[in-house]
Structure 1
Amino acid sequence: MSNNPIYRADHVGSFLRPDYLIQARIQFNKKEISEQDLKEIENKAISELVTKQKAAGLNVITDGEFRRSWWHLDFMWGLNGVEKADLKEGYKFQGVESRPETARLTGKISGENHPFIEHYRFLQQFIENGIVARITIPAPAQFLKELYRPENKVTTQAIYPLQSDLVNDIAKAYQTFIDEIYAIGCRNIQLDDCTWGMMVDSRYNNAGVAHSDQEHTHQCNCHGSENTTVISKSLHELAELFVEINNAAIAKAPQDLILTTHVCRGNYRSTWAASGGYQPIASYLFGRENVRAYYLEFDTERAGDFSPLTEVSGDKQVVLGLISSKIGELEDEQTVINRIKEASQFLPLERLCLSTQCGFASTEEGNALTEEQQWAKIALVNKIAKIVWGTN
């Protein structure tokens, strides 16, 4: 299996934080415990989590994102030239709003000496025969989108008047991070990318990166034109930009480094942000992004049908996110099996796998289910994978 990106039974990476870890982070933020105290508690929680992942029969382990507050912002904050900043409003989900935090530029971006290198180094000790240690990070397109949030846009454009320069520096920063984490032994990286899941919803499809009609004065050559600082607000040109930056960031990655990507439509305290099938962006994401596999949300009708899977190019694989990480109720086994068979009409069964639709805790707050329910979901993924493919 070492040459394949994923296993038949897989997961997206984040897990519910134990209560004592949640309390420790609160204490740390109140300056009641030291950074070293928090680190030791995180180490304990991650060690216990890895034991549970192995006991659950998973071949891929992660640190559960236990050292993070967010699935994406913590990575961005770890890049040089980026700071943590507060906003007036958070991200908007169905019926709820997240904490108002963002990543904002302070200068030119670079990727050396990222704190996630040491995070992965701790996880490495748990690798054994048949067990792969994966790290999850936000995709470059996700970072670009964050820098063009309305509250960040002025700062971003002051530091990077030319968008092509910003794209180049983001790609280089990711290349540096990939080189450094590869050097210590990492061979499996998952790029989490909500940009695609948001673009298919007409409410969000310019993703904040495109300019309004009033601002739009020129069309950017997304391959490096120096003549303009703006891009078209067309969904297709935005998709072109996102696939370009994602591919540029991984273009120099070693051949034996498994690079995959996860796409969903928002995951915060069991809520969601967007709706829409993959078809509008399938030719870009599935046809042209140079990853080895896609972890795709498919647990509700909000993700559309399976027909866009015909756009998955080459021998790339798709991990069907048919088991919801948002709710505690367990899916019907036969219904999930039937949906896998349905998906196999568009992509051969041997190129399909199964997982939860997203992580169980994309932020430290976690989703509205218990730890017992979380592991029951993982057990169901394993059980169905063995029924369908004869192995996990």
Structure 2
Amino acid sequence: MSNNSIHAPFRADIVGSFLRPAELKEARARFEAGKISAAELRAIEDRLITELVARQKAHGLKVITDGEFRRSYWHLDFMWGFQGVEHIELEHGYQFHGEETTKGSLRLTGRISGHNHPFVEDYRFVHQFEEPGIVAKQTIPAPAQFLAELYRGDNGKTTDSVYPDRKQLIEDIAEAYRQVLRDLYEAGCRTVQFDDCTWGMIVDKDFWKLMAGSDFTVEGEAQKYLDINNLAIEGKPEGLVVNTHVCRGNYHSTYACQGSYEPVGPYLFAGENVDAFYLEFDDERSGGFEPLRFIPKDKKVVLGLITTKRSALESREELIKRIFEAEKYVSLDRLYLSPQCGFASCEIGNKLTEEEQWAKIDLVQSVANEVWGKQ
């Protein structure tokens, strides 16, 4: 069987990002200070990504990523790669529970295009490490996440000035994503993952406090995000699998949102045209498994039961128990296991060591082998 017919998810899977080595953080700081060139930084990134891929394989993973080592953020670096988008710094970052993030954002300078996106070349580097039964996946923020960032704070004023016609904006975003998907496919990619915090945002009661007095509704927001994600997936190359990861924020072991999937289940689960859902279920913030009943029988579910926010290892018995609780709503043959999110959604990383990170990966492997048999 060729690798072109093998896709994520795997029984023991990952979301994508890994803790950045100290050497990488130091190199990025030196680059920002003008002390090393872009070529010198990339050479360091190449070497550390090569080492990371080898370690992923050594820990038995069948899916590999570059750990997002070339990014400062899980989402913004990709958005900055579109034509018509520039990097800006705001007065405030995202307000998480207990911590404010760094202040990066974006602003439109013209119409959006996905031609010559730098992430395609980044993917080619990881693709070279594929081998029989091991595939490289590319993680990118969902189109809905890009749309949300375009209307974050005062960004919306610039967005509306460039795009007075909202329908044209939606179409240009979708076409930019379709272009990137086509280019990734040509580079050999067969698994893409849309990372998406918008759903976690709109199920959170604090979000709706901010929206008080406006015309926003859960239903309206959910339909908007569903429509743009599906429009971007429409017409994807044959054989390209698009999955999605849904999260409630993951920054330096803090979170942004909380709330059950129940309100968005009829939209996200029942309607998004992805092949698999990577879902955060590491604590009570995500609610129970009942909303999984909305997932069609031809879709897969990756249960994010192991947290990346804390170093302590979960109970194997409790993890296995929870997997079989989820089986009440999704058959075991369509269930998979992973951490609830990446280990470093932003370069600051979560509050655990690299050794603790790999212990989490080993726990995922061990539990998956016990439940489904060694793959």
Q: Give TM class, smaller chain.
A: over 0.9
Q: Deviations over 1:64-101 (max 9, x none)?
A: 00000000000000000000001010001111000111
Residue 253 of structure 2 corresponds to residue 270 of structure 1: yes
For 1:140-151, what aligned pairs fall within 5 Å after superposition? 140-151=143-154
Letter in 2 for 1:323: I
Corresponding residue number in structure 1 for 2:278: 295
For 1:55-94, what aligned pairs fall within 5 Å after superposition? 55-94=58-97
Q: Is the 8 A contact 2:7 2:135 kept in 1?
A: no
Letter in 2 for 1:169: D
Letter in 2 for 1:134: K
Deviation at 1:103, TM superposition (A): 1.5
Q: Is the 8 A contact 1:5 1:292 kept in 2?
A: no
Residue 48 of structure 2 corresponds to residue 45 of structure 1: yes
Distance 1:4 1:98 in 2: 33
Which one is further off, 2-11 or 375-384?
A: 2-11
Q: Secondary structure at the match of 1:246?
A: helix
Letter in 2 for 1:24: A
Which of the residues 342, 360, 368 maps onto 1:377? Answer: 360
Letter in 1 for 2:349: G
Distance 1:275 1:188 in 2: 28
Distance 2:35 2:6 in 1: 47
Deviation at 1:5, TM superposition (A): 3.8
Residue 236 of structure 2 corresponds to residue 253 of structure 1: yes
Q: Which ranges of structure 2 fall in alignment gaps of 5 or more residues? A: none
Percent of residue pairs bearing the same amino acid type: 54
Letter in 2 for 1:330: L
Which of the residues 341, 346, 370 maps onto 2:324? Answer: 341
Q: Is the 8 A contact 2:88 2:106 kept in 1?
A: yes
Corresponding residue number in structure 2 for 1:97: 100
| Structure 1 runs of 4+ with >4 Å offset | none
Corresponding residue number in structure 2 for 1:165: 168
Q: Secondary structure at the match of 2:244?
A: strand
Distance 2:156 2:199 in 1: 20
Letter in 1 for 2:15: V
Alpha carbons of structure 1 residues 83 and 308: separation in structure 2 relative to 1, 3 Å: same
Letter in 1 for 2:98: G
Corresponding residue number in structure 1 for 2:348: 365
Corresponding residue number in structure 2 for 1:181: 184
Q: Which ranges of structure 1 fall in alignment gaps of 5 or more residues? A: 214-231
Structure 2 length normalisation: TM-score? Answer: 0.97
Which of the residues 193, 196, 199 maps onto 1:193? Answer: 196
Corresponding residue number in structure 1 for 2:31: 28
Q: Secondary structure at the match of 1:252?
A: coil
Corresponding residue number in structure 2 for 1:234: 217
Letter in 2 for 1:85: I
Q: How many residues of Structure 1 are paired with residues of Structure 2 in the alignment? A: 372
- More helix per residue: 1 or 2? 2
Q: Is the 8 A contact 2:7 2:190 kept in 1?
A: no
Which one is further off, 65-74 or 255-264?
A: 255-264
Q: Secondary structure at the match of 2:304?
A: strand
Corresponding residue number in structure 2 for 1:112: 115
Alpha carbons of structure 1 residues 212 and 39: separation in structure 2 relative to 1, 3 Å: farther
Deviation at 1:205, TM superposition (A): 4.8
Q: Is the 8 A contact 1:12 1:355 kept in 2?
A: yes
Which of the residues 291, 306, 316 maps onto 1:308? Answer: 291
Structure 1 length normalisation: TM-score? Answer: 0.93
Corresponding residue number in structure 2 for 1:323: 306
Q: Deviations over 1:296-326 (max 9, x none)?
A: 0000000000000000014100000000011
Deviation at 1:172, TM superposition (A): 0.5
Corresponding residue number in structure 2 for 1:225: none
Q: Secondary structure at the match of 1:203?
A: helix
Distance 1:121 1:390 in 2: 32
